[in-house]
Amino acid sequence: AEVDLSTEIAVPCQAGDVALFHTLVLHHSLPNRTDQWRRSFICHYIHPDAVSPTDHTRLPRIQVSN
């Protein structure tokens, strides 16, 4: 599958902001132009009774193009 970047939606964030995404949402950020590390915290919540509707091991590879 190929991703059409003309449909992307910008989510402007300031230093210290938090952006939350669903596990299957494609996302990216611009290069870090500071001398400081960019940090991320990844947390998954899955209810013990949850059943995956998708076999995630078989998701298509995605090609991103400009």
- Smallest CA-to-CA distance from 15 within 29, 5, 4 is with 29
pLDDT (mean) for 46-55: 75
pLDDT (mean) for 34-49: 83
pLDDT tens for residues 6-41? Answer: 888 888 988 888 888 887 788 888 888 989 888 888
- Smallest CA-to-CA distance from 26 within 47, 48, 8 is with 8
Structure tokens at 62: 């995605």
pTM of the model as a whole: 0.48
Q: What pLDDT, on a 0 to 100 scale, did the predictor assign at position 35?
A: 93
Using the structure block, give the residue that is written with the tokens 């590879």.
Answer: 61
